[in-house]
Amino acid sequence: MKPAPFDYYAPASVEEALSHLTSLGYDGKVLAGGQSLIPAMNFRMARPAALVDLNNVAELFYIKPLEAGSLAIGAMTRDSTVENDPLVKRYFPVVGEVLKTVAHVQIRNRGTFGGAVAHADPAAQIPALTVALKAKLLIRKQGGERWVDAENFFIGPFMTVLQPEELLVEVVLPPMANHSGASFQWVSRQRGGYTQAAVISVVTMDDHGRCKDVRVVLFSVGENPILTQAASQILVGKLPTAEVITEVAAKIAKYEVDPASDLHGTSEYRRHLVNVLVDRSLSEAFKQAN
């Protein structure tokens, strides 16, 4: 099939893009990498009246360090660029570990970091990664801008707080504290395919070997990335022993996820995966933090 007719705009600046989005309202759709949008249009599952293509907006392609150790990533920066960037590798190694599992290299060469965040696929790696790393998202519209914490950005499957006239322009990763570790664990039916269950854990320990901060984010087992509560409730202030980590994993699997069943796995199977993957992820993250 081919897409329904649509108008096409290729702005050369953010301001020009925002002007089009303001005029178009709900009739407009932003085109970034296009791997999800274009197939949906070809199958006529999506029928935007107009596309606003950001691939000529050079000011959205960058990775740059900020004060106090933060790292800013322009929304149109290619996934493969982020994956291989020396600053990312040095200060946020988990980002590269996660990105190398996104589809295949040809997809990562075209896909964009901000586009994946804005698309809000509940089975995708990058939205969950931004939540785990406490990312700040810069959203612009004509005449103004606002910052949104990643954990407050996603409101449903493929749904975010972005309004039709707004554009996600930057993702800022705050610095990881000393004595921190992070681990990504997942299960998928094939390399490069969607995960059946996955977890990203980020932990920080104090000078006495106790857990100071912990974030466990699950994805592909719900409608959004799931920032769990049990991990912080049980672990903070305690020594991260194997017994405590096992308790956390079991509680998360039992009380904090309600995965759907499909032809690739039952809800019970996905709960089992969550239990196993959280245990592995936390164990590895604390090992790195020591």
Which residue's entry shows tokens 């200060």?
Answer: 91
SS3 20: helix
What share of the chain has pLDDT > 90, as a percent? Answer: 94
Average pLDDT of span 200-210? 97
* pLDDT for the residue 194: 81
Tokens of 124: 């995708």
* pLDDT for the residue 68: 85
Nearest to 128 by CA among 83, 98, 86: 98
* Cα–Cα distance for residue pair 18/21, rounded to 1 Å: 5
Residue 264: pLDDT band by 50, 70, 90 thresholds? confident
Q: What is the CATH number of domain 58-173?
A: 3.30.465.10
Domain boundaries, the chain: 7-53, 58-173, 180-289
Tokens of 133: 């790393």
Q: What is the CATH number of domain 180-289?
A: 3.30.390.50
Nearest to 115 by CA among 173, 53, 197, 202: 53
Average pLDDT of span 7-34? 98
Assigned fold of 7-53: 3.30.43
* pLDDT for the residue 192: 75
SS3 118: helix
Q: Is the pLDDT of residue 35 over 80?
A: yes
Give yes or no on whether 7-53 and 58-173 have one common fold: no
Q: Is the pLDDT of residue 193 over 90?
A: no
Average pLDDT of span 120-141? 97
**Mean model confidence pLDDT for the chain:** 96
Q: Is the pTM of this model over 0.85?
A: yes
